[in-house]
Amino acid sequence: MFRNSLFGATIALIVLTVIVTWPQALHLASAVPDHDDPFFSMWRLAWIAHALPRDPSHLFDGNIFYPHLRTLAYSDATLFEGLLAAPWLWAHVNLVLVYNVCVLAGIVSSGVGMFVLVRHLTNDPDAALVAAAIFALAPYRIEHVMHLELQWTVWMPLAFYAVHRLFDQPSARGGVILGAALALQLLASVYYGVFLSLLVAAFSVMLLASRARQARTVLLPLCVAAVTVGAVAAAYALPYIDAAREVGTRAAGETASFSAQLGSYLSAPEQNWIWGWTSSRFEGNELRLFPGLVAVLIAVTGVAGNYRERLVWIYLATLMLAIELSLGMNGTVYAWLYSHVSPLRGFRAPARFGILAVCALAVLAGFGFRFLRRQLAAPRALLVAALVAIGVESGSAPLKLTEVQRSPPDVYTVLDKFLKPERTTAVIELPMASGFNVVYMFWSSRHWRPLVNGYSGYAPPDFQETVKCMDKFPDAASIARLRGLNVGHVLLHGYYYSERERTAVVLAAARSPDLIPVGRYRDWIGITDVFALAPATQHREARLLDQHTGCGD
């Protein structure tokens, strides 16, 4: 009885998730996947918790890419995850722990959502658990374990569940529930929210076509759902529209490079235990979409063994549509939508429709496992075998982790408590190579001073000019740039320079009349030299303007 319950399924999914992400569970408070994006996501969670109680009207005005506004909208804001994390961060729970629990909770809850959907469709908890494991442990998901927003897909199966409930018992309340599921997916991941809404709309049309007699009773609730998600989307889109005016949208060529090919569904992540050898077909983790042979075989059984059920064919059509949409500019439907629906031009990776293909595949696998259970005499052994096979096919452990210092480095403690506590001036941290900026962002959560550095899906047009200027710091052009940006303090992280470069830049900064040495402090990896910009004088400003002919000169 325990194994048939939602609680039992949750425990099973937790165990499976711990196994495929091992050894993350041993380091929840001290390490994150070895990638830039976990630091970016921790900054997003921390910023939302910081901004909400202080000035929610400026929630999207992140402290990065100073002096630009709406910088949280340069990428997915992960507002849903931020709201989940905020109470814990307000209680001063370790940010690394909160982030890791959010990631793993996203994986487990996605499986739970699939369990709810397939149990409703098949009335078979074992089949539902198999479907849940396929969806939660998809190799594509595990390869993206560093992307917080791509783990929160619980609202996908719950949205389909809401559609079924709406058709079973049409009501305005059902429409609100469906709209809320779509809206929550949007708040958890803008990509997945938009993609899910498109697929649910198509699914609803197909379901309506198969139940034409229900047209009158379900059209109004479906319209309520559309209005509900539309209202949330319209409000949520405002900061993104403002940001797009500044940073633009994706070029068609860039979107094409992140569009899947049919061969992508035969390519698994490089780290996958069994199928990693297929990864050489494609570069980049967006284009490796193989869902696992076990999942495919059980899903094929679902279609063959239940070919008389119209719902199976609707989910098969949904699967094929998701695959077609994932082809992006290599396909037909998405290419047409890209030309006619302007919001889609802000999305770089149509291949992310692949997770919706896995969602539909998992449902078909649920039907398939139900069929196999009815044909074979050992249902419990079959369940164990299926779960083990899915886990092994999805396995890629050990996950490569990077340690994160728990206590704030001395340099940020000094910056927070003693240097310009009124925070009227900005901070810039050097060097500004892209791999370093995201770490500076993460540690800015210890002081929340405006930060010239930044890392996100987009960057403001003048950011690269600033980066180029700082390559020659502390020459006249770079100092003029810093004054124009209202920078108060410059942090030089010595570890990221060669010994010769570090000595030269520190000596030059110490000799500059425009910079005041503040001290040397320990950071998370080495020693940082801190300089304050000296108060400007008319003579010095005139000299800088005379010498400054542009950062590129």
Residues 295 and 388 in one domain: yes
Burial class (CB in 10 A: 0-12, 13-18, 19+), 274: middle
Instruction: Evaluate whether residue 499 is within a structural domain.
Output: yes
Task: Assign residue 238 a region (left: φ > 0; alpha: ψ between -120 and 50; beta: otherwise).
Answer: alpha
State residue 376's pLDDT score: 86
DSSP H helices in 283-378? 293-305, 310-326, 333-340, 354-375
Instruction: Classify strands 487-493 and 426-430 as parallel, antiparallel or unpaired.
Output: parallel
CA distance 298 to 496: 51
Instruction: Classify strands 401-403 and 527-533 as parallel, antiparallel or unpaired.
Output: unpaired
Instruction: Evaluate whether residue 400 is within a structural domain.
Output: no
* Amino acid in position 477: A
Residues 344 and 433 in one domain: no
State residue 406's pLDDT score: 87
State pTM to two decimals.
Answer: 0.93
State residue 76's pLDDT score: 95
Write the CA distances from 104 to 76, 419, 515, 527, integer angstroms.
19, 38, 46, 34
**Domain stops at, among 394, 424, 455:** 394
Residues 334 and 190 in one domain: yes
Among the listed residues 18, 11, 8, 1, the one whose alpha carbon sits nearest the alpha carbon of residue 391: 18
Tally the domains of the chain.
Answer: 2
State residue 539's pLDDT score: 45
CA distance 27 to 402: 10
State residue 552's pLDDT score: 54
Check if the beta carbon of residue 458 is closer than 8 Å to that of residue 77. no
Q: Hunting for tokens 């199976």 — which residue is that? A: 312
CA distance 201 to 366: 22
CA distance 161 to 131: 14
Write the CA distances from 528 to 398, 404, 423, 490, 520, integer angstroms.
33, 18, 20, 10, 6
Instruction: Evaluate whether residue 152 is within a structural domain.
Output: yes
State residue 548's pLDDT score: 47
**Domain stops at, among 394, 429, 450:** 394
Which helix (H) or strand (E) element contains residue 231? helix 215-247
Residues 335 and 460 in one domain: no
State residue 540's pLDDT score: 53
Residues 362 and 256 in one domain: yes
Residues 381 and 347 in one domain: yes
Check if the beta carbon of residue 316 is closer than 8 Å to that of residue 368. no
Residues 101 and 239 in one domain: yes
Check if the beta carbon of residue 151 is closer than 8 Å to that of residue 110. yes
SS3 readout for 78-144: CHHHHHHHHHHHHCCCCHHHHHHHHHHHHHHHHHHHHHHHHHHHHCCHHHHHHHHHHHHCCHHHHHC
**Domain stops at, among 367, 394, 421:** 394
State residue 343's pLDDT score: 85
Write the CA distances from 515 to 275, 291, 411, 432, 510, integer angstroms.
56, 56, 18, 19, 7
Residues 306 and 432 in one domain: no
**Segments in the chain below pLDDT 50:** 1-2, 538-539, 542, 544-549
Which helix (H) or strand (E) element contains residue 52? none
Among the listed residues 312, 547, 515, 365, the one whose alpha carbon sits nearest the alpha carbon of residue 430: 515
Check if the beta carbon of residue 390 is closer than 8 Å to that of residue 275. no
Instruction: Evaluate whether residue 78 is within a structural domain.
Output: no
Residues 346 and 415 in one domain: no
Q: Hunting for tokens 């690269």 — which residue is that? A: 464
Instruction: Evaluate whether residue 160 is within a structural domain.
Output: yes
Q: How many residues does the chain have?
A: 553
Among the listed residues 180, 129, 135, the one whose alpha carbon sits nearest the alpha carbon of residue 153: 135
Check if the beta carbon of residue 128 is closer than 8 Å to that of residue 119. yes
Residues 470 and 339 in one domain: no
Residues 534 and 471 in one domain: yes
Residue 150 CB partners (closer than 8 Å, separation 6+): 141, 144, 189, 191, 192, 352, 355
CB atoms near residue 468 (< 10 Å) = 16
Residues 531 and 389 in one domain: no
Among the listed residues 261, 268, 34, the one whose alpha carbon sits nearest the alpha carbon of residue 138: 268
Q: Hunting for tokens 């809320």 — which residue is that? A: 180
Query: Which residue segment(s) compose the domain that 313 sits in?
Result: 2-29+94-394
Which helix (H) or strand (E) element contains residue 400? none
Among the listed residues 317, 296, 362, 292, the one whose alpha carbon sits nearest the alpha carbon of residue 122: 362
CA distance 105 to 111: 10
How many CA atoms within 13 Å lie on the side-chain side of 67? 10
Instruction: Evaluate whether residue 493 is within a structural domain.
Output: yes
